[in-house]
Amino acid sequence: PRGRGPGVEVTADAETIPVGVSRTLRAGEKIAFLGFGSMTNVLAPVAESLNGTLIDMRFVKPVDEKAVLEAARTHGLLVVAEEGVLAGGACSAVLEVLADHGVTVPVMRFGLPDRWIDHGTQGELLASVGLTSEAIEAKVKARAEALGLL
């Protein structure tokens, strides 16, 4: 899909970002939201509403294994979102880290289905596959309640 960035001003003295290192944007409890790319902004109001931790993962390769493992250790539910196809994407990278370290934690994945998506604006396309803040919040809230986290 075509679209625009979140309106961040580009400056000459831009911050150097260490490769493979995420950043925590919000500290919360019980639910950790791991956002890749534009989905970090979609997850922000959900994390705020459900008092969750929000992590901007920044990189898929290399994925920040330390951040994934710490989030799994300190939260009862991981919510991973990407604006890419779920099969073999960023969400899969998170699941691989957990599997490689023998970590078991409930995980919810949000991303594009492995099928043709019609043309439209970025917002229309994301809404058509349930990748809006409202749709994600409804699903996460239901799962968190079922797990006794809310």
pLDDT digits (tens, 9 = 90+) for 67-112: 999 999 999 999 999 999 999 999 999 999 999 999 999 999 999 9
113 within some domain: yes
29 within some domain: yes
Total domains, the chain = 1
- 105 touches 77 (CB < 8 A): yes
85 within some domain: yes
133 within some domain: yes
16 within some domain: no
pTM of the predicted protein model? 0.90
Range of the domain at 82: 23-146
Q: Cα–Cα distance between 51 and 45 in angstroms, integer?
A: 10
Sign of CA dihedral 138, 86, 41, 25: positive
DSSP 62: T
How much is the CA Rg of the chain, to the nearest whole Å?
15
CATH number at 50 reads 3.40.50.920
Share above pLDDT 90 across residues of the chain, in percent, rounded to a whole number: 81
